[in-house]
């Protein structure tokens, strides 16, 4: 992120002295994530990510996120493990902020995923849902179906400044989503934000599933829909890649399986996923000055996906 909490080398050395990780060798603030400050820390025994939670993260949610990461890591998933200090505590305080030392995982995020990478991420998502079955925690999804209309109303007339007609289109779509949203599908812990930049890969292999700060309890297949919307289009949403789409769903089905009801619901769930990112991006767009140093992400990239799923969703998810 642009401004991060500065941690002096001396303070970091004192902090690390409570862990069995050896002496500090290097620490670099990394420009990753917009919610937290992150350092890439090297000690005599390895590399770690040190995360300091800034004000955008609800502190009450932190134990859920950290417990979930620990659980998934213990289940063998490539999820960064929170490192406990010598007293067994993973959630600490540093420079007045909640802080956690976290396992470093290798890998890079693909900008232009190929079908083999999409299949691998589909499998990884299926594995994640399987491993999450034994996790006892839960967290409501405040960016789920019931949150969309209030968010659209808070954006209000300003939506028209993004593009004329956007406001009416959003509310018409909300009517349909609220009327048709499936009620009988299995619920699960979901990642809820498994975009390519939250996946680390080496070649076609998934080496890291990261950034669980939107994880929550919701319809399990909705997570596949979010992943689909973020992996099988060009970033601007203008081009759909059928080979990526087929590979992603195939990978998920191989690892976890999809019921006929889940498969049938995917087009609508994907419209919902597009709505979620359209609305949060619209909100950020309207509340970020155009000349801010933070890059504003184009909300219309997800309106294009929404239109695609509405017009071609049935074909896109057909076997």
User: Contact residues for a copy of itself (CB under 8 A)?
Assistant: 2-4, 8-13, 23-32, 40, 42, 106-112, 200, 202, 292-295
CB of 105 to a copy of itself, least distance (A): 8
CB of 33 to a copy of itself, least distance (A): 11
CA distance 247 to 244: 5
- Residue closer to a copy of itself by CB (options 80, 126) is 80
Residue 209, helix vs strand vs coil:
strand
CB of 26 to a copy of itself, least distance (A): 5
Which residue in 269, 265, 263 sits closest to 250, CA to CA? Answer: 263
- Residue closer to a copy of itself by CB (options 24, 219) is 24
CB of 289 to a copy of itself, least distance (A): 10
- Residue closer to a copy of itself by CB (options 34, 314) is 34
**What six digits make up the tokens of 131?**
């491993």
DSSP 295: P
Torsion angle of C-alpha atoms 49, 53, 54, 58, degrees rounded to 10: 150
CB of 5 to a copy of itself, least distance (A): 11
Q: Which residues contact 84 (CB under 8 A, 6 or more apart)?
A: 19, 90
Torsion angle of C-alpha atoms 83, 84, 85, 89, degrees rounded to 10: 140
CA distance 148 to 171: 10
- Residue closer to a copy of itself by CB (options 51, 188) is 51
Centroid of chain to Cα 154: 23
- Residue closer to a copy of itself by CB (options 31, 314) is 31
CA distance 200 to 43: 22
CB of 295 to a copy of itself, least distance (A): 7
Which residue in 90, 271, 116, 311 sits closest to 203, CA to CA? Answer: 116
- Residue closer to a copy of itself by CB (options 1, 264) is 1
- Residue closer to a copy of itself by CB (options 25, 187) is 25
- Residue closer to a copy of itself by CB (options 42, 61) is 42
| Contact between residue 12 and residue 27 where contact means Cβ atoms under 8 Å apart | yes
DSSP-derived secondary structure for 226-258: HHHHHHSB-TTS--B-HHHHHHHHHHHHHHT--
DSSP 15: H
């Amino acid at each position: 992120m642009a401004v991060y909490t500065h941690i002096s080398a001396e303070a970091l050395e004192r902090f690390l002295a409570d862990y069995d990780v050896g002496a500090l060798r290097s620490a670099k603030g990394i420009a990753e994530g917009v919610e937290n400050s992150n350092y890439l820390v090297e000690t005599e025994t390895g590399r770690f990510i040190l995360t300091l939670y800034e004000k955008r993260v609800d502190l009450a949610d932190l134990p859920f996120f950290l417990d979930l990461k620990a659980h998934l890591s213990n289940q063998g998933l490539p999820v960064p493990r929170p490192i406990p200090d010598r007293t067994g505590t993973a959630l600490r305080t540093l420079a007045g902020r909640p802080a956690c030392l976290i396992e470093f995982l290798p890998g890079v995020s693909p900008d232009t995923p190929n079908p083999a990478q999409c299949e691998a991420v589909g499998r990884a998502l299926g594995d994640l849902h399987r491993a999450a079955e034994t996790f006892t925690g839960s967290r409501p999804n405040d960016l789920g179906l019931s949150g969309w209309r209030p968010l659209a109303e808070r954006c209000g007339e300003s939506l028209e400044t993004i593009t004329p007609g956007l406001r009416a289109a959003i509310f018409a779509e909300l009517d349909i989503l609220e009327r048709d949203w499936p009620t009988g599908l299995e619920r699960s812990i979901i990642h809820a934000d498994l975009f390519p930049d939250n996946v680390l890969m080496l070649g076609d292999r998934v080496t890291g599933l990261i950034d669980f700060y939107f994880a929550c309890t919701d319809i399990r297949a909705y997570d596949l829909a979010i992943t689909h919307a973020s992996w099988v289009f060009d970033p601007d949403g203008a081009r759909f890649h059928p080979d990526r789409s087929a590979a992603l769903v195939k990978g998920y089905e191989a690892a976890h399986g999809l019921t006929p009801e889940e498969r049938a619901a995917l087009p609508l769930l994907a419209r919902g996923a597009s709505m979620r990112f359209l609305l949060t991006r619209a909100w950020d767009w309207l509340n970020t000055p155009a000349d801010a140093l933070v890059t504003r992400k184009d909300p219309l990239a997800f309106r294009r996906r929404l239109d695609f799923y509405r017009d071609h969703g049935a074909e896109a998810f057909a076997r």
